[in-house]
Structure 1
Amino acid sequence: MMVIGIDAHKRTHTAVSADELGRKLSTKTVGTTSTDHLALLKWARAQPDPERLWALEDCRNMTRRLESDLIAAGERVVRVPPKLMAHARDSARTYGKSDPIDALAIARAALREPDLPVARLDGVERELRLLVDHREDLVAERTRVIARLRWHLHELDPGWLPPGKLERASAYDRVAAHLAQFDEFVARLAMTLIHHCRRLTVEIDELAGEIGERVQQIAPSLLAIVGCAALTAAKIIGETAGVDRFRSKDAFARHNGSAPLPVWSSNRARHRLSRTGNRQLNAALHRIALTQARCHPGARALLAKRKAKGDGGMEALRILKRRLSDVVYHAMIADLDHRSAETPTAA
């Protein structure tokens, strides 16, 4: 079997084909339009080996169109995490860094790891991810605006303490009433920032409502997990990008970084917290774990049991997150089965 590794950029895609032993066969560089992708496909089909696998570095903003075109043409495509590609490049005998070197490293990583996530056409998961990312961008922008507003308020009246949280309409009303007594240029700028914050808050709330409605329709089992609210569920769905692409709950745990890493030699088996995997998914699991540690009897009992055995707080929390990863996986599988059952089959 031939593996074609792709090093993707905004303007070009570099492809390197390799045989089953990882030996470089040929190289092709094309643009990033669908017409360019057709030329890349013709080049691949002209190779001597008819059986091929496309390996793309998992950077979906760069490779989404290429993935869609290849899948529509009936090709097999897998996604290679950047860390695997980096390790494959470092272990090669070729020094330096270039697009062909990176593409060959991606192909070799795909050969070395036979169970990589399979790419597929985008669905509701991508729409949720875009909505969540857009909301997070607006929240970050509002945070920056509030920081500038606080400096203007301090300049106008250092003795006046603004409300602790400037993300609410009532807080904006109090600040606006305070600024009304000043007739200065800085006060006018501060009022402009308040209007900007109001608009951002309205957009953020509207997005949160839309996200909540979508999640309620497609992920009721995920929402039923204690500590998993709509925004957390949307983050999990968007970052997972299709739970059915993972062969098991253990593969999903490895992907989200909740699977422990072995760190031992000799006769004593020992594991530690993993710093690998999708950190956005890991953060979502962490939020659920912290909530359950406060109010869920089962989680509290597990933490108490682990601490009684000598585990530290973070080690006990790691074990809870690993259990939660399995719970989240099974909930997403249940939601997927429910959606599949509701989808009418063609006659």
Structure 2
Amino acid sequence: MVMIGVDAHKRTHTLVAVDEIGRKLAERTVQATSDGHLAALQWAGQWTAVSFAVEDCRHMTRRLEQDLLRAGLPVVRVHTRFMATARRAGRQPGKSDPIDALAAAHAALREPDLPVAMLDGPARQVKLLSDYRHDLVTERTKVINRLRWHLHELDPELTIPPRGLRSYRTMDAVAHRLNSFEGTVARIAGDLLDRCQELTRQVNQLERELRDLVQALAPSLLEVPGCGVLSAAALIGETATASRFRSKDAYARFTGTAPIPVWSGNTTKVRLNRGGNRILNNALHTIAVTQTRSNGPGKDYYDKLTARGKTRKEALRLLRRRLSDVVFRALLTDERARAQPAPAALQAAA
């Protein structure tokens, strides 16, 4: 088998082919266009069994991945951390496109449980909307912070609740209060308030769209205690199809909930995994914290761990690891349900 590592950029992709023991066979650079991807496929055709390993930066590699998958070639995604490790272990010092492509190939040979790329599905739409909503929320926070400084300058006695400027009622009251002021500061504050209202409207609209999508795509995931619409959207979008992972343990490594062994001798120890997908890890942490605040299996498991002497942080880490398996099973259940054909009666009615 030949593994082809890819270092992707906006204008060009560099490909390096290695054999099953990591010896470099050939190198090629193609344009980051459909014609360039076709040239890469023709170049790879000189070997019988070929797999591709691309750096996990889907904004750069998405079109290439889609063309490779439509051609029937397997593609795995290599985390940048694995590539850095492979570069440091390489004989050739430095950093260049061929070195990075070779590092991707070597990392793919060394790591057997890398996530497999798949054709875009409904999870892609969820991710785009979720990321766009996050960007708008971040922008709204910046606008609110600037607005609060101007409001404090205009009226130091004006009191606004910590999250009040997310409420239309509070924003209407502030707009009415701004009508009594004149000058540049009041004008800027009015513009910022208008922008805040527009951003809030967009954020709420996106959340409604995400709610409809998540309810249709992942009803089993929403049944997990503590998993709301936004957490479910993050899990669906970042997972990008659970079936591309070989096992729940591989998924736990991807989410950063699998602990890292750090022991030698007779004492077995592990430490916190700071790698993995941090968006997934944050969503699992939100679910874990929510479960500890209400009755249920998560709360019982958390209390049992703390009773055994675990600290709050340690108990939450162990609960996140368990929730990773629960989420993985729920996502697989929903994906299999969507893959099943509709009953004949429903098809006839349609």
When normalised by structure 2's length, the TM-score is 0.95
Is 1:175 the equivalent of 2:167?
no
1:192-271 alignment to 2 at 5 Å? 192-271=191-270
Are the counterparts in 1 of residues 12 and 32 from structure 2 also a CA contact under 8 Å?
yes
Q: Which residue is equivalent to 2:17?
A: 17
**Who is 1:152 aligned against?**
150
User: What displacement does 1:309 show?
Assistant: 1.6
Give the corresponding residue for 1:53: 51
Structure 1 counterpart SS, 2:26: strand
1:231-263 Cα deviation digits (max 9, x unpaired): 110100000010001111111111101111111
Partners of 1:343 and 1:3 lie apart in 2 by 39
Aligned-pair identity (%) = 54
Quote the residue 2:76 is aligned against.
Answer: 78
Partner of 2:5: 5
Query: Match of 1:190?
Result: 189
Superposition TM-score, scaled by structure 1 size = 0.96
Residues 13-43 of structure 1: per-residue CA shift (max 9 Å, x gap)? 1101111121111111111111111111111
Deviation sequence 1:56-83 (CA, Å, 0-9, x none): 1111000000001111111121111111
How far apart, CA to CA, are the structure 1 residues paired with 2:295 and 2:29?
A: 54
Asked if 1 retains the 8 angstrom alpha-carbon contact of 2:114 and 2:250, the reply is: no
Deviations 1:134-190 (A, max 9, x none): 001111111111111111112212232234321110111121121111111211111
* Unaligned stretches of 5+ residues in structure 2: none
- State how many pairs are aligned: 344
Moved over 3 A (4+): 342-346
Deviations along 1:299-337, one digit per CA (max 9) or x if unpaired, are: 222222112222111111111111111111111111111
Q: Counterparts of 2:262 and 2:182 in 1: how far apart (Å)?
A: 65
**92, 110, 113: which is aligned to 2:111?**
113
Q: Secondary structure at the match of 2:293?
A: helix
- Contact persistence 2:262–2:271 (CA under 8 A): yes
Offset, 1:105: 0.6
Bigger drift between 76-85 and 153-162 goes to 153-162
| Separation (CA, whole Å) in 2 of partners of 1:21 and 1:248 | 25
User: What is the RMSD of the two structures over their aligned residues, measured on CA atoms?
Assistant: 1.5
CA distance in 1, matches of 2:337, 2:175: 50
Match of 2:160 in 1: 162
Structure 1 residue 215: Cα displacement = 0.5
| Distance apart, 1:95 and its partner CA | 0.3
Segments of 5+ residues of structure 1 without an aligned counterpart are none
Alpha-carbon distance in 1 for matches of 2:295, 2:32: 50
Measure the CA separation in 2 of the matches of 1:243 and 1:343.
22
Counterparts of 1:51 and 1:103, CA distance in 2: 19
SS at match of 1:192: helix
CA distance in 2, matches of 1:125, 1:304: 35
